[in-house]
Structure 1
Amino acid sequence: MTYNPQQIIARGPRLVSESAAEAIDGDVLLEGATYSILEEDEDRNIWRIDAFPTTEEEDARLQEVLAGFPELTVTADQLADADWLAMALSGLPPVRAGRFFVYGIHDRGRAPDNTVNLRIEAGAAFGTGHHGTTVGCLIAYNDLLKSKRFDRVLDVGAGTGVLAIAAAKTGTRVAVGTDIDPVSVRISNENAKLNKCHARFVYANGLDHRLVRSDAPYDLVFANILARPLVGLSMAIRGALKPKGLVILSGLLRTQERFVKAAYHSKGFRTVRRIHRDAWCTLVMQKV
């Protein structure tokens, strides 16, 4: 039986919403779940989780997890039988993050002349540039570029490829991305062609790929995934970096920041910077 897509919306106070988002992240049955969390009404302290299940099982599990937080108001809206993802993306405005301007085909005539323009078509992959984690990574990278360039860059969990493509378009000679989803790998390679850049993307579990090993060590690693995988990959990321190399970590909630920082500090990293956007945190750390 074909699953009819729907959008699950949960609203509640910030701390409860962040705890619910952390519960989604930590649930092994929801490892591939797509959701976002943002502040909807600052004056009333209302935060909102939007989740987009793709199967009946994922739908049921998301609703079960959210039901564990009675302070949340949870609703579900049936999505029209159409390409709802494309329709939703067509209504998203372009994103400006420092020198970077991220846009889709519907905004191709609006790209300025004085920015690094990244045309990103999401398809079924994560990373249009609108999510707080992606914006945080781009802002962190933009600021690092003010003082240095990065010859070799690795993007772990590349999604649409936006971060590796941003690197390739700002002077990086070797830009490699990995993802555990073959659809994301296809989309990211298509986006590299759209942007006429040399970024390459491969299917890999973390950093386990011949191309990733052959191009190491890297000056910079992006890892915009989830908190637990970030911790699990901390030693592998350290091994892939040059001495004094940098890593930009995101995909973690503010409530998970201490957990991730502790894991990287124990592996010989120091914190350079942190960026908060909505409920999300981006960390810049250096191998010491």
Structure 2
Amino acid sequence: MSHTALQIIARGPRADAEAAAEAIDRDILLEGATYSILEEDEDRGLWRIDAFPTSDEEAEALQARLAEHPGVTVKVEVLADADWLAMSLSGLPPVRAGRFFVYGAHDQGRVPSNAVNLKIDAGAAFGTGHHGTTVGCLVAFDELLKRERFERVLDVGCGTGVLAIAAARTGSRVALGTDIDKPSVRIANENAKLNRADARFVYASGLNDQRVRGEGPYDLVFANILAPPLVALSQDIKEALRLGGVAILSGLLRTQERRVTAAYLSRGFHLERRIHRDAWSALVLRRMG
């Protein structure tokens, strides 16, 4: 039986919404689930989760996790038979993150001349630049570029490739991205060509792939994934970085900061900065030992 395209919408106070999002992150069956969390109504203190299950099993698991939190109300809507992702993103405005300007084809005429312009259209991979985690990574990278350069950059869980492409466009000699999703790798390589960026993307699980090790050690590692794999990869990311190298981590909620930060501090990292966008956090850590 084919899966009916659904959108699951949950609304509630921030604490309840963040707790529900954490429950989704903890569920191993939902490791690849696509969802977002953002503030919908500041005056009312209302936050919203939008989830887009790709199977009936995932839809059931999402609803089960959300139902565990009585502070949020849950609604399920059937999506029309259309490219809803492209349609929804076609109306999103371009994003400015420091020197970076991320835009889609519909904003071709709004590209500024004083920015590093990155054209990333809607597609089947995460990372158009609109999500708070991606913006946080770009803002962190922009700030670092004001005082140092990164010759060798790795993007773990690259999605559309926007972060590695941003590195290549700002002078990184090596800009390599990896993903465990083959369509994402294809899309990222297409985006690199579209942006005339000397960035390369490979299908690889983890950082022990020979193609990943062969380009290291890296000056900078991006990892915009989820909190549990960020913790699990802390030693691998350390080993991939040179001494003094920087890790920019995101994909985690503010409530998950302490857990992720503790994992990296225990590996000899120093926390340099936190960046918050909506409920999301980006961490800038430097390898000191």
In the superposition, the TM-score normalised over structure 1's length comes to 0.99
CA shift, 1:91, in A, is 1.1
Give 1:121-136 correspondences, 5 Å limit.
121-136=121-136
Deviations 1:122-172 (A, max 9, x none): 411000000000000000000001111110000000000000000000000
Shift of 1:200: 0.3
The CA deviation string for residues 58-83 of structure 1, in whole angstroms up to 9 with x for no partner, is 11110111011111011111111011
Determine the structure 2 residue equivalent to 1:18: 18
1:121 CA drift (Å)? 2.3
Mapping of residues 95-106 of structure 1, within 5 Å: 95-106=95-106
AA at the equivalent of 1:54: T
Does structure 2 conserve the Cα–Cα contact (< 8 Å) formed by 1:157 and 1:206? no
Once residues 155 and 122 of structure 1 are traced to their aligned partners in structure 2, the CA distance between those partners, rounded to angstroms, is 20
Q: CA deviation at 1:183?
A: 0.6
Correspondence for 2:31 = 31
Offset of residue 280 of structure 1 = 0.6
Residue correspondence of structure 1 range 88-167 to structure 2 within 5 A:
88-167=88-167
Match of 1:177 in 2: 177
Q: 2:199: which partner in 1?
A: 199
For 1:223, the equivalent position in structure 2 comes to 223
Q: Is the 8 A contact 1:122 1:187 kept in 2?
A: no
CA shift digits 1:39-63 (9 cap, x unpaired)? 1111211110000111111111101
Alpha-carbon deviations, 1:3-44, whole Å to 9, x = none?
A: 121111100011110010000011011011000000111121
Unaligned runs of 5+ in 2: none
Question: What is the CA-CA distance between 1:208 and the residue it aligns to?
Answer: 2.6
Aligned match of 2:279: 279
What residue ranges of structure 1 are gaps of 5+ in the alignment? none
2:209 and 2:121 map into 1 onto residues whose CA distance is: 25
Could you give the per-residue CA deviations for residues 224-272 of structure 1, whole angstroms, max 9, x where no partner exists?
A: 0000100100000000111100000000011100000000000000100
Determine what percentage of the aligned residue pairs are the same residue: 70
Large movers: runs of 4+ above 6 Å: none
Contact kept in structure 2, 1:122 and 1:160, CA below 8 Å: no
Match of residue 56 from structure 1? 56
Helix, strand or coil: the match of 1:108?
helix
TM-aligned CA deviation for residue 106 of structure 1:
1.4
SS of residue paired to 2:163: helix
- Taking structure 2 as the reference length, the TM-score comes to 0.98
Tell me the alpha carbon deviations over residues 179-238 of structure 1, each in whole angstroms, 9 at most, x when there is no partner.
Answer: 010010000000000001110000111213222111100000000000010010000000
**DSSP 3-state at the match of 2:110:** coil
Could you tell me how far apart the structure 1 residues matched to 2:71 and 2:18 are? 12
Q: What's 1:66 paired with?
A: 66
- The reply to whether residue 245 of structure 1 matches residue 245 of structure 2 is yes
Amino acid in structure 1 at the alignment position of 2:279? A
The equivalent of 2:190 in structure 1 is 190
Instruction: State the AA in 1 paired with 2:102.
Output: V
Quick one: distance in 2 between partners of 1:106 and 1:86? 11
**Higher mean displacement: 267-276 or 39-48:** 39-48
CA–CA distance in structure 2, aligned partners of residues 166 and 268 of structure 1: 27
- CA–CA separation in structure 1 for the residues paired with 2:86 and 2:283: 31
Give the SS at the match of 2:127. coil
CA contact (8 A) 2:6 2:77 kept: yes
Would you say how many aligned residue pairs link Structure 1 and Structure 2? Answer: 288
1:2 CA drift (Å): 1.4
- Contact persistence 2:90–2:122 (CA under 8 A): no
How far is 1:109 from its partner? Answer: 1.7
